[in-house]
Amino acid sequence: MAIIEAYNLSKRYPNGYLAVDNISLRVEEGSITTLMGPNGSGKTTTLNMLTGSLRPSSGQIRICGYDLWGDRRQAVLARMCLGYASQDMPFRGKLSALENLLWFGLIRGLSPGKAKNRALEVLDQVELSEYAKYRVDKLSGGQRRRLAIAAALVGNPRILVLDEPTSGLDPAARERLWRLLRELSRDKTILLSTHIAEEAERHSDYVYIFHRGRIAAEGSPRALITRYARKSSIRVKLVSSPVKNLMLKWKYYRQDRELTIIVDDPSSELPKIVETLLQQGLVLESIEVIRPGLEQVFLEVTGELLHGTASVSEVT
């Protein structure tokens, strides 16, 4: 059963910029669904429209069966299903974690007593009870991300919507946050965005790949990899930018000092690639074999690299 449905959704800003271009998507109840793409691909704009904080230019959105932009009753019921943690939550840094959650509870319409009880519950749920009286500006990045999720949970929503929840976290904090999200997914539907392919691949039931405001591909991670990314790639970082016209017999993509070379068999072709690059006078800083995954899927369906800033591919 689809708990979120969006049809022909677009957002054009007054300056003419088309941030989201006629997309449709469904989120199944009980799933972890991921919008994956680089910064500027339309993920945050889409989440803002799906949570009711940004009105679409066109299209329809249904949340828990209610029209999000319909009459007042429908809109209120739809929003009650949602808990949204943005990248920049409006926490008040000089207030404690508990005081901030009380504020979110009051905004949700809870009485002061119920807001406090609920705040204490969600602090425990996200493993922040011992930091309840800490000022928010004294918390670590990982703790603030968990507090953002706690704020989204205050209203006990059916759906958690999270914008780049692990961005900027170190690997240990990222893994801890994902343990929390997997625990929450037992009784919540989770819709999130990320630019980290490995996260989307490991943890998602379904992935929408965003590129320049459109959905370039969609499916389960396994289905996407099977369809689009049967080949491995070799990522080479060079000490300096290469000449414009490299003489390579392999298909490759180029971004600044980095080459991504598509290969059938990394073990046999890696020595040949290294030899070829050295013969052309290039100095290698690092080299890495990338097995088939969602990063390769993004490359195949868009012709651009997911990591770093998007660039036009160069193929020989």
- For residues 59 and 306, the model is more confident at 59
Residue 96 resides in a domain? yes
Q: Output the six-digit token pair for 272.
A: 């040949």
Split at pLDDT 50, 70, 90, the class of 242 is: low
Where is the domain boundary, 206, 225, 244? 225
Residue 225 CA to residue 156 CA, distance in Å, equals 35
**Boundaries of domain holding 219:** 2-225
Say how many domains are in the chain.
Answer: 2
**pLDDT exceeds cutoff 80 at 64:** yes
CATH number of the domain bearing residue 239: 3.30.70
Q: Output the six-digit token pair for 269.
A: 């072709």
Residue 189 CA to residue 201 CA, distance in Å, equals 17
pLDDT at 314 (0 to 100): 42
Residue 59 CA to residue 308 CA, distance in Å, equals 31
Where is the domain boundary, 199, 225, 251? 225
- Same domain assignment for residues 115 and 213: yes
- Same domain assignment for residues 77 and 135: yes
Where is the domain boundary, 225, 257, 279? 225
pLDDT at 247 (0 to 100): 79
- Same domain assignment for residues 267 and 151: no
- Same domain assignment for residues 164 and 219: yes
How many alpha carbons lie under 13 Å from residue 180 in its C-beta half-sphere? Answer: 26
User: Quick one: 266 exposed, middle or buried, by C-beta within 10 A (0-12, 13-18, 19+)?
Assistant: middle
Among the listed residues 265, 195, 202, 201, the one whose alpha carbon sits nearest the alpha carbon of residue 233: 265
E strand or H helix at 202, and its extent? helix 197-203
- Same domain assignment for residues 191 and 273: no
pLDDT at 309 (0 to 100): 40
Residue 309 resides in a domain? no
**pLDDT exceeds cutoff 70 at 5:** yes
pLDDT at 312 (0 to 100): 35
Residue 313 resides in a domain? no
- Same domain assignment for residues 17 and 46: yes
Residue 60 resides in a domain? yes
- Same domain assignment for residues 220 and 280: no
pLDDT at 83 (0 to 100): 96
One DSSP character per residue, 47-85 reads HHHHTTSS--SEEEEEETTEETTSSHHHHHHHHHTEEEE
**pLDDT exceeds cutoff 50 at 232:** yes
- Same domain assignment for residues 84 and 117: yes
Phi and psi angles of residue 11, each rounded to the nearest 5 degrees, phi first: -140, 115
Phi and psi angles of residue 255, each rounded to the nearest 5 degrees, phi first: -145, 110
Residue 310 resides in a domain? no
CATH number of the domain bearing residue 74: 3.40.50.300
Residue 148 CA to residue 97 CA, distance in Å, equals 10
pLDDT at 251 (0 to 100): 85
Residue 280 resides in a domain? yes
Q: Output the six-digit token pair for 166.
A: 């692990």
In this predicted model, what pLDDT tens digit does every residue of 254-313 receive, in sequence order? 888 888 888 888 889 999 999 988 888 888 999 999 889 999 899 889 988 886 443 333
User: Quick one: 210 exposed, middle or buried, by C-beta within 10 A (0-12, 13-18, 19+)?
Assistant: buried
**pLDDT exceeds cutoff 90 at 14:** yes
Residue 119 resides in a domain? yes
- Same domain assignment for residues 61 and 34: yes
Residue 64 resides in a domain? yes
- Same domain assignment for residues 177 and 291: no
Among the listed residues 72, 71, 83, the one whose alpha carbon sits nearest the alpha carbon of residue 4: 83
- Same domain assignment for residues 63 and 128: yes
Is 159:5 a contact under the CB 8 Å cutoff?
Answer: no
In this predicted model, what pLDDT tens digit does every residue of 116-168 receive, in sequence order? 999 999 999 999 999 999 999 999 999 999 999 999 999 999 999 999 999 88
